A and B are shown apart, each in its own frame.
Chain A
Amino acid sequence: MTPLSPPPAPVRLPHERPLRVGPVSWLLRLRSAVIALVLLAAVALTTALSMRIGDIPMTLAEVVQAITDDGPDHFVVMELRLPRALTGALVGAALALAGAITQAIARNPLASPDILGVTSGASVAVVAAIVAAGSAHGGPSGALAQLGIPLLAVAGGLAGALIVYLLAWRRGLDGYRLVLVGIGVTAVFTNVKYWLLTLGDVNDSSRAMVWISGSLNGRGWEHVHPTALALAVLVPPALLGTRSLGALRFGDDTVTGLGVRTNLARGLMILAAVLLAAVATASAGPIAFVALAAPQIALRLAGVAQPPLLVSALAGAFLTSAADLVARTLFSPVELPVGVITAVLGAPYLIYLLVRARREARS
């Protein structure tokens, strides 16, 4: 293209700085990078604290020694505290990532994997299993509790998502329609869940309630591995989809005109969100609020318009690990489900950020 006038000064993007090496060029958001590093450090700090705090308090030196030693302390750190802390961080990251993707696709900050039918579908499946197996067979135990519940949660979550997807599809996928259908399906699932709870034996129902609230109690390496694997498989393609996700915020005609296969890109990103949310729910139950709040907290911290995927994941990891630390120490030895604390911690902080943003907008 020949310029009509002398070439103007290069335009600057307000939030990003280019980083160019030969034909390769990247856009760098300095503030996002700094926030990501700070959050990563915060996650490391809470993990370290989780190693120290508990029924047997340890100093950091004792923790380090326990890792190499072969004694009761080794068991406490390596088999109880570390896998639990890691599960919390990984589950939080997965939920937040799923939430960030869902909010971008739905073009709605109130969207979360809950409206994709994942968490409510998983809840129905698990509650049904606990209630059905409970009175007849003396409760879920052994292989059923270890493997059966997580597998059921994944299956129920995927089935719930499939129902929402099929009902929402109409010559393409519209974010607004997805939200409406998702809310409807979730309401039905939620009521089925409560109906099942009233049917069940009191003990089974209360056991199911703990799962429904989302708990990291007793989580071991068998929960760390699948969640870590899911994240390792799903995070790279999700990050590659960031650019499409950015384009998908525009109207469908604009996005298609820019050469994005709109329905394919949207479908793949939703699939990633569904799988992440399903795996996280299978590991720790439907932990409330992380998927909703972490992306919104992340985008306000990073000062961008769309939930940034990586920063959201780190914010989710931090929110969940900090919440679990509080959940198991606040009223020790009584332990609260982590889902209760994520809501109690996350909600006021999100409200604070919203109020501050309003003040800034006014001034």
Chain B
Amino acid sequence: MRLQAVDVRLGYGDRIIVDGLDLGIEAGTVTTIIGPNGCGKSTLLRALGRLLKPAGGEVLLDGKRIDRMPTKEVAKVLGVLPQAPTAPEGLTVADLVARGRHPHQTWYRQWSSDDESAVSEALSMTGLLDLGERPLDELSGGQRQRAWISMALAQGTDLLLLDEPTTFLDLAHQVEVLELVRRLHGELGRTVVMVLHDLNLAARYADRLVAMRGGKVIAAGTPAEVLTESLLSEVFDLDAKVIEDPVAGTPLVVPIGVRH
């Protein structure tokens, strides 16, 4: 188990969103967390990435409590792409992606050849190599999102947590980002945990789905196990038909309507 939440209690101040939740992430898998808005999936992802300290329970990275590990050491193993990240004005793509090397740098090792090759590889994987000197504010939404993903890639971690990496993207760019995730997993053996809203894309690109509602895990397993008509009704209050995706053979959700 690479990453594990044990009986975690999560919230902001007095507002508890997730209580008594257990979840394990196996090495070398792509896990996607799905659920309605406000169900606690981003909160859970933030806790897994030690961006949020649990009010109770613990998060274990490779069996060790993540909050007791030096945060810089965690950053060499675990990369996080937060939801809607913000960058300072006037930053170029190369500057942003180079920032991903931060955990590998010290004041006397500011820009090693390793840093350089990690950044250029990250840029070439996302197809941004030619845009390195462009300011981030001048990019389209899709390019900007790819730049942020490049930054997470440049960090060179084998665990990646992505919070809604496809927001603001049109369908083609969503597929492009998820194909990239698939390659990271297939060719480089990375472990990926992400939050997605599109159930059909989640089913196609994840090994495991975790369905949440009201701060609880309702179901976890392969897409075929999780995406059933009864679960969609339970988790999303959604009446839907689930058929076989003619392209990938994974479950395909066809909504009928919302139950009131």
A interface vs B, CB < 8 Å?
A: 1-5, 7-16, 18, 20, 23-27, 107, 171, 240, 243, 246-247, 249-254, 256-261, 305-306
Which residue of the partner chain, among B46, B95, B155, B188, contacts A14 with CB atoms under 8 Å? Answer: B95
* Chain A residues with CB under 8 A of B51: 252-253, 256-257
Which residue of the partner chain, among B92, B98, B111, B133, contacts A25 with CB atoms under 8 Å? Answer: B111
Which residue of the partner chain, among A9, A10, A171, A250, contacts B86 with CB atoms under 8 Å? Answer: A250
User: Judging by beta carbons under 8 Å apart, are A13 and B75 in contact?
Assistant: no
The count of A-to-B residue pairs whose CB atoms sit within 8 angstroms is 137
Query: If the complex has contacts A10-B116, A26-B111, A305-B88, are A258 and B105 also in contact, measured as CB distance less than 8 A?
Result: no
User: Judging by beta carbons under 8 Å apart, are B49 and A8 in contact?
Assistant: no
Query: If the complex has contacts A14-B92, A250-B87, A258-B155, are A8 and B113 also in contact, measured as CB distance less than 8 A?
Result: no
Stretch at the interface among B122-130, B197-205, B208-216: B122-130
* Chain B residues with CB under 8 A of A261: 71
Stretch at the interface among B16-24, B30-38, B76-84: B76-84
* Chain A residues with CB under 8 A of B118: 1
Tell whether B229 is near chain A: CB-to-CB under 8 Å.
no
Chain A residue at minimal CB-CB distance from B129: A8
User: Judging by beta carbons under 8 Å apart, are B107 and A23 in contact?
Assistant: no
Question: Which of A14, A26, A251, A253 counts the most chain B CB atoms within 10 A?
Answer: A253
Taking the nearest CB of chain B, how far is it from the CB of A265, in angstroms?
10
Query: If the complex has contacts A20-B112, A249-B88, A259-B103, are A3 and B121 also in contact, measured as CB distance less than 8 A?
Result: yes
Which residue of the partner chain, among B49, B70, B107, B133, contacts A243 with CB atoms under 8 Å? Answer: B107
CA gap between A240 and B79 in the complex, in Å: 24
Interface residues of B in 93-143 (CB under 8 A from A): 94-95, 97-100, 102-103, 105, 107-113, 115-121, 123-125, 129, 132-133
User: Judging by beta carbons under 8 Å apart, are A27 and B71 in contact?
Assistant: no
B interface vs A, CB < 8 Å?
A: 13, 46, 49-51, 70-76, 79-82, 85-92, 94-95, 97-100, 102-103, 105, 107-113, 115-121, 123-125, 129, 132-133, 155-156, 183, 187-188
* Chain A residues with CB under 8 A of B85: 250-251, 253-254
Chain A residue at minimal CB-CB distance from B100: A258
Taking the nearest CB of chain B, how far is it from the CB of A267, in angstroms?
15
CA gap between A70 and B112 in the complex, in Å: 55
User: Judging by beta carbons under 8 Å apart, are B86 and A11 in contact?
Assistant: no
User: Judging by beta carbons under 8 Å apart, are B102 and A4 in contact?
Assistant: no
Query: If the complex has contacts A1-B121, A1-B188, A305-B90, are A254 and B82 also in contact, measured as CB distance less than 8 A?
Result: yes
13 more CB-based (< 8 A) A-B contacts, given A25-B113, A107-B88, A243-B102: A10-B120, A11-B129, A14-B94, A15-B95, A23-B109, A24-B108, A240-B107, A250-B88, A252-B51, A254-B85, A259-B70, A259-B74, A259-B102
* Chain B residues with CB under 8 A of A258: 75, 99-100, 102-103, 155
* Chain B residues with CB under 8 A of A2: 187-188
User: Judging by beta carbons under 8 Å apart, are A13 and B123 in contact?
Assistant: no
Taking the nearest CB of chain A, how far is it from the CB of B34, in angstroms?
21
Which residue of the partner chain, among A11, A14, A249, contacts B120 with CB atoms under 8 Å? Answer: A11
Query: What would 17 A/B residue contacts be, using CB atoms closer than 8 Å?
Result: A1-B118, A5-B124, A7-B120, A8-B121, A8-B123, A8-B129, A246-B99, A249-B87, A249-B88, A250-B86, A250-B87, A250-B99, A254-B82, A254-B86, A256-B51, A258-B155, A259-B103
User: Judging by beta carbons under 8 Å apart, are A13 and B95 in contact?
Assistant: yes
* Chain B residues with CB under 8 A of A24: 108-109
User: Judging by beta carbons under 8 Å apart, are A253 and B74 in contact?
Assistant: no
CA gap between A259 and B72 in the complex, in Å: 4
User: Judging by beta carbons under 8 Å apart, are B112 and A25 in contact?
Assistant: yes
User: Judging by beta carbons under 8 Å apart, are B87 and A256 in contact?
Assistant: no
* Chain A residues with CB under 8 A of B108: 24-26
Question: Which of B50, B103, B111 counts the most chain A CB atoms within 10 A?
Answer: B111
Query: If the complex has contacts A1-B121, A16-B111, A26-B111, are A247 and B102 also in contact, measured as CB distance less than 8 A?
Result: yes
Which residue of the partner chain, among B80, B100, B120, B156, contacts A9 with CB atoms under 8 Å? Answer: B120
User: Judging by beta carbons under 8 Å apart, are A305 and B110 in contact?
Assistant: no
Which residue of the partner chain, among A11, A15, A243, contacts B132 with CB atoms under 8 Å? Answer: A11
Query: If the complex has contacts A1-B121, A8-B129, A12-B132, are A256 and B99 also in contact, measured as CB distance less than 8 A?
Result: no
Which residue of the partner chain, among A1, A27, A240, A257, contacts B111 with CB atoms under 8 Å? Answer: A27
User: Judging by beta carbons under 8 Å apart, are B99 and A257 in contact?
Assistant: no
CA gap between A114 and B107 in the complex, in Å: 30
CA gap between A257 and B91 in the complex, in Å: 19
Which residue of the partner chain, among B76, B82, B98, contacts A253 with CB atoms under 8 Å? Answer: B82
* Chain B residues with CB under 8 A of A253: 46, 51, 80, 82, 85
* Chain B residues with CB under 8 A of A243: 102, 105, 107, 110
